[in-house]
Amino acid sequence: MEKPHILIVDDEPLVLASVSDLLEFEYTVHQSDNPHEALSIIKDDRYELKVIMSDQRMPGMYGHELLREAKKIRPNTIRLLLTGYSDLESIMYSVNVGEIFRYINKPWKSETLLNVFRLAVKLYDQMMALDTSKHAKKSLQKELPEQEQPEEVKAETKTVLMIGYSDKVFDHYHSVLKSKYNVVNVHTTQEALDDLKKMDVSVIVSEINLGITSTLDFLIKIKQGFPNVVTIMLTKSIDANFAIRAINDLNVFRYLTPPIDDDEFRSLVDEAFRRSDEFKSKTRLDLFRSHKSEVESSNSLHNKSSDLRSNLKAAQDILSKKKGY
């Protein structure tokens, strides 16, 4: 079986060489030290690129710009960012523009990188499976054009849960969204949990500061319990580490700071609903519940011997495959 194709982009050749060496046992690694060249690789449809990992700061183009372009060309390819800077601006860009799956800091841990790639490939395969079934659906619908938009009809049942906003702020967002969605405001995590159990919530828009409990931890737990919920952070508190956690552990859809344009906000919520619908349509795969623990274990990495063992095992697997061949 052919190894999955991946692309790594970094202006530092030594990084490329190292990452490539690390991954080449499991993947066919394409690499480029120039984002423009990388774009031509992305456009090349001879390979099915499953994962792209880019550096953020490169001459000529930012990583998040490259990933945005990549999304246009290959929407299902999983995007990762590997960066030596953890300045807030790049983080916000990476989530809001690049829509990345993971934000990985330099210096990286080999095990983390391997795990993230495995997970990313798994996610990609699931997305593609979904996509092909969708295509099938679509072709069916083409034959029946009258029923093309059944989702719009049941618009009333779509629920947005807003957590931690003052009544005044909520009233504003409510007026923006009420024409299409059922918007609910809660002030505490307990209320949020109650509503999640009662209602079919698809999108959460959350503030960060909700009193004593760490909102992020709460949202991550929610994500595990309700994997189809898509989360948008809309908060003035911006913190680099927090944002990185929101991306990597919560898979936050957008990380926004007010003020935000009403139309933009509405269209973002629309997009979040589409994303949630995608998740719902593949309930058999409990993606986020499982990969969370994988990443966590890779993050902890206390026993290096096990890393080594797994590395060896990976190598041995390859050997045994060859042998079997």
Partner 1 sequence: MSNPEPSDVNNESLTQKGYGELIVYALLFILFITSIFVFNINLSDKSREHTVRILCAQHQQRAWQKALKSLEQARIGLYTGQPTDSAFIAFSTSMKKFGQCTIALHKGKLLMIEQQELNVLPPDDEVTQQIIASIYNIWLSGKDDMNRLIDSIGKGAINPELVEQMLEFAVRNDDQILDYCQEFMVKLSQLSDERVGQLQTSQISALVLSFLVFIAMGVRSTISLRARDKVIDERNQELKKQRDTIAKEKETIEELLGDLQNTQTQLIQSEKMATLGQMVAGLVHEVNTPLGFIKSNVDILKRNVGLFEQTLQENRLLVEKLADGDLDDLEAQLHKVQELYDQLNSYNLIDKTNQRLNDSIMGLDRLSDLVLNLKNFSRLDEASAQNVNINECIDTSLLIANHLVKNRANIIKDYGQSIDAECFPAQLNQVFLNLITNAAQAMPVNQTTDGKPELGTIAIKTRQKDGLIHISIEDNGTGIDPQKMKKIFEPFFTTKPVGEGTGLGLAIVYKIIEKHAGKIKVKSTVGKGTRFEISLPMKLAGKEKFDIEYSDLVN
- Residues lying near partner 1 in the complex (CB under 8 A): 12, 14-15, 17-19, 21-22, 24-25, 34, 36-37, 57-61, 84-85, 87, 105-111, 113, 307-308, 311-312, 315-316, 318-319, 322-323
Contacts of residue 205, Cβ cutoff 8 Å, sequence gap at least 6: 160, 161, 162, 163, 173, 231, 232, 234, 269
Q: How would you classify the pairing of strands 57-58 and 61-62? A: antiparallel
Q: Which is nearer to partner 1, 73 or 312 (CB)?
A: 312
For residue 22, the minimal CB distance to partner 1 (Å) is 6
For residue 40, the minimal CB distance to partner 1 (Å) is 9
Tokens of residue 169, six digits: 């702020």
For residue 83, the minimal CB distance to partner 1 (Å) is 9
User: Do residues 231 and 250 touch, judged by C-beta distance below 8 A?
Assistant: yes
For residue 69, the minimal CB distance to partner 1 (Å) is 13
For residue 209, the minimal CB distance to partner 1 (Å) is 21
Q: For residue 258, what are the CA distances in angstroms to 59, 169, 209, 234?
A: 31, 11, 15, 7
Q: Which is nearer to partner 1, 87 or 286 (CB)?
A: 87
As a residue count, the chain comes to 325
For residue 322, the minimal CB distance to partner 1 (Å) is 6
Q: Which is nearer to partner 1, 221 or 309 (CB)?
A: 309
Tokens of residue 293, six digits: 């623990």
Angle (nearest 5°) at CA 254 between 45 and 91: 80
Q: Which is nearer to partner 1, 214 or 311 (CB)?
A: 311
Q: Give CA–CA dist 295/158, Å, rounded.
A: 32
Q: For residue 301, what are the CA distances in angstroms to 112, 115, 297?
A: 9, 12, 6
Q: Which is nearer to partner 1, 113 or 268 (CB)?
A: 113
Q: Which is nearer to partner 1, 193 or 240 (CB)?
A: 240
